[in-house]
Amino acid sequence: MSTDRAFVDQVLERLPSRDMRARPMFGEYGLYCGDTIIGLICDNTVFIKVTDAGSAFAGRIGRGAPYPGARDHLRISRARLRDTDWLEQLVDCTVAALPAAKPKRTRKG
């Protein structure tokens, strides 16, 4: 099952105060805050990368692989998606713990 664009739009609407976007990737979506990929949206489920800070903040939360062979991610339940304050704090913790995006290389013409 692939992710519905309407679900992706709902997720992005929950985070209006963050620079969030979703990009299609391999039939699903990469979830970005600014230029940093923080997770994936697969099969209408949000998966956030595991970081020490994010795990400590989230507490007891399910984990799972967004696709076969992937590392485990934090699996965000529908109830947690409705809690905008909690979700924003998780995004902030995760972004702060991840390395900055590498600058894009420019081609010499």
pLDDT in tens, 5-37: 999 999 999 998 889 999 999 889 999 999 999
Could you give the CA distance from residue 107 to residue 9 in angstroms, rounded to a whole number? 33
Could you give the CA distance from residue 23 to residue 76 in angstroms, rounded to a whole number? 19
Q: pLDDT category, 94, cuts 50, 70, 90?
A: very high
Under DSSP, the state recorded for 25 is E
The predicted model scores a pTM of 0.89
Q: Average pLDDT over the chain, rounded to whole? A: 92
For residue 107, is it within any domain? no
The DSSP H or E segment spanning 89 is helix 84-97
For residue 106, is it within any domain? no
For residue 109, is it within any domain? no
pLDDT beyond 80 at 50 = yes
Contact by Cβ (8 Å): 74, 54: yes
Task: Give me the domain span that covers residue 38.
Answer: 5-97
- Phi and psi dihedrals of 2, rounded to 5? -100, 170
Q: How many domains does the chain have?
A: 1
- Give the list of residues 6+ apart from residue 96 with CB closer than 8 angstroms, or none: 53
For residue 102, is it within any domain? no
**CATH number of the domain residue 58 falls in:** 3.30.1460.30
